[in-house]
Amino acid sequence: MKGAEALLKALEREGVEVIFGHPGGAIMPVYDALYDSPIRHILVRHEQGGIHAATGYARASGRVGVVMATSGPGALNLVTGLADAFMDSTPVVAITGNVPRALIGTDAFQEADVTGVTMPITKHNYLVQEVNDIPRVVREAFHIASTGRPGPVLIDLPKDVQLSEFTGTFQVELDLPGYKPTTKGHPKQIERALDALEKAERPVLMVGGGAQHAHGELLAFAEKTGIPVITTLMGLGAFPGNHPLWLGMPGMHGTVAANRAIHHADLILAIGLRFDDRVTGKVSRFAPHAHTIIHVDIDPAEIGKLVRTHVPIVGDARSVLREMLKGAKPLKLASWWRQLEEWRTRHPLRWKPRPHLQSQEVIRAFAEATGGHAIVTTGVGQHQMFAAQFFPVTRARSFITSGGLGTMGVGLPFAIGAKVARPEELVIDFDGDGSFQMTLQELATVVKYKLDVKVVILNNGYLGMVRQWQDLFHAKRYSEVYLADSNPDFARLAEAYGIKGVRVERKEDLMKGVEAVLNADGPVVAEFKVYHEEGVFPMIPAGGAAEDMILEHPEEREEVEA
């Protein structure tokens, strides 16, 4: 058995069923072995599409996503996707070929120091020097990627190692003396947290992506205590978006109710989130009345990194919530809820109706037509925020977006990965005309594997989020954001790939368009030409605080807010 076959055997032993990838010279022995392997391979058109698809697969399934690429340029095309997976704590294993060991460090053809380059954006990485190390390295890589705070791990495999005769064993013991994540929360701290919670008058529960797997416990805990729940962009779906205890998303484009709740809260119970600046705004003005902040996170380095923490609990969200559930009592929050209800009913998410078709109503129409029952992926930009605001997902692992890195172009490959992971689900990619064009070549992957994904492009002819910032903070100097003069006809582009194309330009055709997308038998690319100068509101300007929230465009304000 050659090293390449040993690699695939080791992957099989980890339960890998599918690899997203693109072949090339330095990984060819593995692709040769793949020819006889039961592992399915999805050929993407760009390695970036491959890693985003693996990320989408991992996010939708909770399992480790696997991507493969060749050395040098192939491996370096993974960089953005690795950083994206790292920022959003996604378990991904990337396998890259490298030049033969004898050529490493000689500036050989297609050589790059991939382990060096990816060091800051992976949880760990390996350069395999000995063929018999392959099973151990694969075992460790999957263990590291999927346990503790999940993250991407890269395995770089020189070509001659892939071709060497494997004489080792697959029976390997994990021996990682420096890696022992704490999963069980400290009982004393949990007790302190429960005591503080019981005394709190205005508590809020903030939930991030680290609690996606704890949705059952979260629901039980919230319902038992009656605490209001806020989910971050990464936490969307971890708590049902149609639940009466849910206040929405916090932060820059969060709801008034969520942001005011945090601003006025006397206690914050934060679970599986890292207090990103898009959530906190200016940290020194974040939650000024919270005399108790309880932070539950599996990564000790996140606790106290940005926000002062009074009760730190290092542990897995699910395990900690189970423990907390045992001692939790119904809280007396009637007057707090009266206040929250007032904010919620007075300032719901809304948009200013215009004669033109609008992104918000397109997303709302899809949400209503599907009952929120779909896996939503998004690119990055205004459409992403509109999707987060107006498509309230009800189930965990159903809102897949690039939170930390904000990577444009992830929407389509995320959708591909999600569809491969959960083929029975309806998968909708809400994308922007700018974002979609960063990875649109993956339409070929959609065609090749007959993946039934629905791509909904909200085409406003602009890099809309940049335009919005230029509008508000750069005196409307719209520098290099206009796309409409050079955008393709997206419906015809889809047709060129053999995919059904839909175009909707007028408000009155909205429902017809939604039905055309949802009733299509197979993949669709639908272009909705939306109002070109829409802004995402509410908005807290970067570096602002909850009190600085802008509810609508300053020039369109009708009433002065109290």
Q: Give the C-alpha separation, 265 to 249, whole Å.
A: 15
Between 293 and 388, name the residue whose CB sits nearer to other proteins: 293
Among 144, 200, 427, 440, binds other proteins (CB under 8 A): 144
Query: Using the rule CB under 8 A, is 174 a contact of other proteins?
Result: no
Contact 155/126 with Cβ under 8 angstroms? yes
Between 56 and 148, name the residue whose CB sits nearer to other proteins: 148
* Interface size with other proteins, residues (CB under 8 A): 17
Contact 163/184 with Cβ under 8 angstroms? no
Report in angstroms how near the CB of residue 140 gets to other proteins at its nearest: 8
Query: Using the rule CB under 8 A, is 178 a contact of other proteins?
Result: yes
Residue 196: partners with Cβ closer than 8 Å, 6 or more residues away? 267, 292, 294, 310, 311
DSSP labels, 146-196: HSSS--EEEEEEEHHHHHSBP-S-S------TT-----SPPHHHHHHHHHH
Q: Where are the alpha helices (DSSP H) in 226-264?
A: 256-264
Query: Using the rule CB under 8 A, is 371 a contact of other proteins?
Result: no
349-352: Cβ within 8 A, 24+ apart: 349/248, 349/255, 349/389, 349/390, 351/534, 351/537, 352/552, 352/553, 352/556
Report in angstroms how near the CB of residue 124 gets to other proteins at its nearest: 5
Between 5 and 88, name the residue whose CB sits nearer to other proteins: 88
Among 116, 187, 244, 554, binds other proteins (CB under 8 A): 116
Query: Using the rule CB under 8 A, is 38 a contact of other proteins?
Result: no
Report in angstroms how near the CB of residue 306 gets to other proteins at its nearest: 10
Q: Name the nearest CA neighbour of 43 among 378, 447, 344, 325.
A: 447
Between 396 and 405, name the residue whose CB sits nearer to other proteins: 405
Q: Name the nearest CA neighbour of 500 among 558, 449, 452.
A: 452
Which of these is catalytic: 109, 130, 505, 547? 109
Q: Name the nearest CA neighbour of 65 among 155, 162, 145, 181.
A: 145
Q: Name the nearest CA neighbour of 408 among 427, 382, 436, 428.
A: 436
Between 15 and 120, name the residue whose CB sits nearer to other proteins: 120
Residues 480-499 that bind other proteins (CB under 8 A): none
User: Pattern of binders to other proteins over 268-307, x per CB under 8 A?
Assistant: -------------------------------xxx--xx--
Please report, for residues 220, 460, 469, 470, the alpha-carbon distance to residue 463 in angstroms, rounded to integers and kept in the order given: 41, 8, 10, 11
Pairing status of strand 124-127 against strand 152-158 = parallel
Q: Which stretch binds other proteins (CB under 8 A): 2-10, 114-122, 264-272, 464-472?
A: 114-122
Between 88 and 534, name the residue whose CB sits nearer to other proteins: 88
Q: Give the C-alpha separation, 444 to 44, whole Å.
A: 8
Q: Name the nearest CA neighbour of 530 among 270, 356, 408.
A: 356
Query: Using the rule CB under 8 A, is 454 a contact of other proteins?
Result: no
Which of these is catalytic: 110, 382, 437, 470? 110
Report in angstroms how near the CB of residue 230 gets to other proteins at its nearest: 26
Q: Tell me how far apart the 2 most distant CA atoms of the chain are, in Å.
A: 76
Which of these is catalytic: 385, 408, 465, 539? 465
Query: Using the rule CB under 8 A, is 512 a contact of other proteins?
Result: no
User: And the tokens for 482?
Assistant: 């206009």
Q: Which stretch binds other proteins (CB under 8 A): 55-63, 174-182, 183-191, 349-357?
A: 174-182
Active site residue 465: yes
Report in angstroms how near the CB of residue 101 gets to other proteins at its nearest: 13
Query: Using the rule CB under 8 A, is 119 a contact of other proteins?
Result: yes
Report in angstroms how near the CB of residue 296 gets to other proteins at its nearest: 16
Active site residue 110: yes
Q: Give the C-alpha separation, 560 to 497, whole Å.
A: 51
187-199 vs 317-327: helix axis angle to the nearest 10? 60
Between 295 and 529, name the residue whose CB sits nearer to other proteins: 295
User: And the tokens for 461?
Assistant: 């002819």
User: And the tokens for 260?
Assistant: 């005011």
Environment class of residue 261 by beta-carbon count within 10 Å: exposed (0-12), middle (13-18) or buried (19+)?
A: buried
Active site residue 159: yes
Between 126 and 462, name the residue whose CB sits nearer to other proteins: 126
At 94 the three-state DSSP class reads strand
Report in angstroms how near the CB of residue 556 gets to other proteins at its nearest: 41
Q: Which stretch binds other proteins (CB under 8 A): 120-128, 315-323, 357-365, 542-550?
A: 120-128
Report in angstroms how near the CB of residue 479 gets to other proteins at its nearest: 30
Between 38 and 177, name the residue whose CB sits nearer to other proteins: 177
Among 120, 371, 508, 519, binds other proteins (CB under 8 A): 120
Catalytic residues, by residue number, are 47, 109-110, 159, 465
Give the footprint of other proteins on this chain (CB under 8 A). 115-116, 119-120, 123-124, 127, 144, 176-179, 299-301, 304-305
